[in-house]
Structure 1
Amino acid sequence: MPTSATLFTGGGGADIGLEMAGFQSLWGIERDEKIAAAAQLNLPESQIINACVSRIDPRLLEPVDLLWMSPPCQQYSQARRGDLEDHQDKDAGVFCLPYIEALCPKWIILENVPGYVKATSFKEILGCLQRLNYFFHWKVLNAADYGVPQNRNRLILWAVREGLNLPFFPMPQRRIGWYEAISYNLAALPDSKLADWQIKRLEEIR
């Protein structure tokens, strides 16, 4: 079974997806203690390391076939106001470079907001991949085109070691709404009840 690991793991969502795709999650690194604890609950068979990505020597970690990287995106989010100071983690993506160099995985995936293409760290990651003879391509995809009932644009980068086939991005699927997404489960749900504030609001409308 191919193996995987994640940088900036969060709650382990990417790891769960990779396991559903047939990978065995070996480890992940998450700085926030509570979020790391949640990831460990979600991934009981994996080693979740509660530390900054920059503080771990990747040469001491178990090699994996696929490395998933999701650097902090706050600096490049469209929701971020322009009058704010630069986010402290805006260049955290550069800490991915030592992992790429030390682990040299078969496959690398980077996920981030579309604005991350402007990040200096993104350019440095691309330069690192070129130096190490990786083939790569990237594209902004909308999760709504792949079965998620929500418009959510994300930058996705695929990279593979020299000699391997570069995966294609999947073709968009028919979009679905929230009702269709949960319709299979509606019959088993209990009858809903209005909250007090909803009842009050209805009375006001009447």
Structure 2
Amino acid sequence: MTFTDLQATSWGFTDPGYGLTMADLFAGLGGSSTGAIQRPGIKLVVAANHWQLAIDSHSANHPDAEHVCADISQYEPRLFPHTDLLWASPSCTKHSVAQGKKRADKQPDLFGETLPDEAAERSRATMWDVVRFAEYHAYEAVIVENVVEVTSWPPYRAWLAAMDSLGYEHQVIHNYGISRNVSVCPDRSLPDFDPTGG
């Protein structure tokens, strides 16, 4: 399935019986899953996050999906249900310029916590978990949502090359602060991958 085919099917088809299944890694509270399943034919099968509160909220919003509370970096992809699509939102706070260049790992997060250097590096490394899961499951398409600044992450090109080496082509879409009713989304980068020659 090419990226164009995917757009014509999962993001624009009208036959609700077609059916593509989806996994949501680093699921948060469920906004990405909610947006995805509003498209006809998308079925959320499983969502995962390391934070129990996020899993509890996501589960309340998506009670029909399986929920996994685990550190994805320590989770074996073979234990994860296979789906057609992967939506992944790896940790972005340590890529964002909102953190400041010199204080990137020392600025407290929303809850006043400051990550030690090792944890901050692990936060950035969650991007590689996408590669691990894509390698094992060979998804029809992978959508990765993150801040635009992730493209300045030193291993970003190596990360893209790793996805390309799995047979995926990529298209990077930037979403610059789109206003949605009351809230404003931060600038986002959405690398989308589809298998080559599909």
Q: Is TM more than 0.5 here? A: yes
Q: Shorter-chain TM-score: what band?
A: 0.7 to 0.9
**Unpaired runs of at least 5, structure 2:** 1-18, 106-116
1:29 pairs with 2:48: yes
Q: Which residue of 2 aligns with 1:167?
A: none
Contact 2:147 2:186 in 1 (8 A): no
Aligned-pair distance for 1:156? 0.9
TM-score, structure 1 as length reference:
0.73
Which whole-Å deviations, capped at 9, do the CAs of 1:151-189 have from their partners, x for residues lacking one?
63210111111233xxxxxxxxxxxxxxxxxxxxxxxxx
- RMSD across aligned positions (CA): 1.8
State the SS of the aligned residue for 2:97.
coil
Verify the 8 A CA contact 2:84 2:140 in the aligned structure 1.
yes
Q: How does 1:1-206 map to 2 (within 5 A)?
A: 1-22=19-40, 23-84=42-103, 85=105, 86=117, 87-88=120-121, 89-144=123-178, 148-149=180-181, 150=184, 152-164=186-198
Using the TM superposition, give the Cα deviation of residue 14 of structure 1 relative to its aligned residue in structure 2, in angstroms: 0.8
1:92 shift after superposition = 1.8
Identity among equivalent positions (%) equals 22
Unmatched 5+ residue regions in structure 1? 165-206
Q: Tell which deviates more after alignment, 103-112 or 76-85.
A: 76-85
Can you list the C-alpha shifts for 1:53-87, whole angstroms capped at 9, x where unaligned? 11211112221111011111111112112332352
The whole-number CA distance in structure 2 between the counterparts of 1:62 and 1:42 is: 20
C-alpha distance in 1 between matches for 2:99 and 2:61: 29
Structure 1 residue 46 displacement after superposition: 0.4
CA distance in 2, matches of 1:14, 1:151: 12
Aligned residues: 162
Structure number with bigger Rg: 1
Please name the residue that 1:178 is paired with. none
Contact 1:94–1:121 (8 Å) recurs in 2:
no
1:202 corresponds in structure 2 to none
